[in-house]
Amino acid sequence: MRIEMLTSMAGPGCTRQAGEVVDVPDDEAKRLLAKGFAKEPGPGKRSKPETAAKPKPKATKDVEAENGSDA
């Protein structure tokens, strides 16, 4: 059964992140749904949650200029 995780969880055999849509056995899905750890995914939900892109590091000259160093 496909479910969308509402909380993150980890165990010896798996790691699941909040927002992730995963396939789990029906009995496990029913337990997670009943306890509020997961919900049924909406239409068009992806298997992995979207994440923000990491900012690019500043160039050395920009960092030295901000610190007041002479280049």
State pLDDT tens for residues 2-39: 999 999 999 998 899 999 999 999 999 999 999 999 99
CA dihedral (35, 40, 45, 49) in degrees, to 10, reads 0
Instruction: Pick 29 or 47 by higher pLDDT.
Output: 29
Q: What pTM was estimated for this model as a whole?
A: 0.60
Residue 53 pLDDT exceeds 60: yes
Rounded-to-integer distance, Cα 48 and Cα 1, Å:
16
- In this model, does residue 57 exceed pLDDT 80? no
